[in-house]
Amino acid sequence: MDKLLNQLKQHFSEKRLLSYEKIAQHKNLNITEAVNLYKLNILLCEELYAFISCIEICLRNNIHKKMTVVFGKTNWYLDVDWGDKHKKQLEDAIKKVKKLTHKDNIDPDTLISSISFGFWGHIFDGFYESTLWVKGLNKIFPYYQGSPNRKHIAAAFNTLLKVRNKIAHFESIIKNEKQLLRTYNQMAEVINWISPEIYLWFKSFNNFDSLYKQLTA
């Protein structure tokens, strides 16, 4: 185990492994347990990333379907007065799809699936309250308890975006066990706003619970 820990320090950096050594010390574990803690962190990141990916797919598809009805066209995104950041992201996505397909006429479904989660996560910002939210975005969460609160929803997705960036690089998420559990529960809350059935399906094969028990044992 000592040899493996040294290899990880050499190839993944001492700074990265130091955080897991500190966690091991905090848990009164042998310093070499940092290797297992790092492995556990990676596995938990994988589970959360899969969960966020599930949320992302459901979110963008529901937005696309609702806005298609609202605007009466599948390329509804062309009629939206986007903020500068969204406009740039959309333009980049259009260029990317055209380059990949070698076509000027873009299939809206293909474009929607190629736009980043950051784009969709920030579509609930106050900038779009009158142009998108009240026109239909407030209807894409049928299982939200009570009247959908845009600010609450925007804050939830802002948190998920930060978590997504962190786990995408396998950064440490196990240091604060309570925060990790809150993060998972917030993901569960968000997907339940869209479809409780999808949540139950995902939970049936997601391993977060068993991995979290290992962390807190």
- Tell me the range of 25-34, 101-110, 121-130 where mean pLDDT is highest: 121-130
Q: Where are the domains of the chain?
A: 47-216
CA–CA distance, 126 with 148 (Å, rounded to integer): 14
- Mean pLDDT for the chain overall: 94
Tell me, what's the pLDDT at 22?
93
Tell me, what's the pLDDT at 23?
92
Q: How far apart are the first and last CA of the chain?
A: 21
pLDDT confidence of 169, banded at 50, 70, 90?
A: confident
pLDDT digits (tens, 9 = 90+) for 86-122: 999 999 999 999 999 888 899 999 999 999 999 999 9
In Å, how far are 21, 151, 177, 182, 210 from 217, measured between CA atoms?
17, 37, 11, 18, 10
Tell me, what's the pLDDT at 56?
96
- In this structure, the number of other CB atoms found within 10 A of the CB of residue 65 comes to 14
Judge whether residue 1 has pLDDT over 80.
no
Judge whether residue 31 has pLDDT over 90.
no
Q: How many residues does the chain have?
A: 217
Judge whether residue 126 has pLDDT over 90.
yes
Is the separation of the CB atoms in 38 and 11 below 8 Å? no
Judge whether residue 180 has pLDDT over 80.
yes
Tell me, what's the pLDDT at 94?
96
Is the separation of the CB atoms in 80 and 51 below 8 Å? no
> What would you report as the CA-atom Rg of the chain, rounded to the nearest whole angstrom?
20
DSSP 8-state secondary structure symbol assigned to residue 126: G
pLDDT confidence of 12, banded at 50, 70, 90?
A: confident
Tell me, what's the pLDDT at 174?
94
Share of the chain above pLDDT 70, in %: 100
pTM, two decimals, is 0.91
DSSP 8-state secondary structure symbol assigned to residue 217: -
Burial class of residue 61 in the structure, from the number of CB atoms within 10 Å of its CB (0-12 exposed, 13-18 middle, 19+ buried): middle
**Helices (H), ranges, the chain:** 2-12, 14-26, 34-71, 84-101, 108-114, 117-121, 150-168, 177-194, 196-203, 208-216
Tell me, what's the pLDDT at 146?
94
State whether the Cα torsion 182-59-140-191 is positive or negative: negative
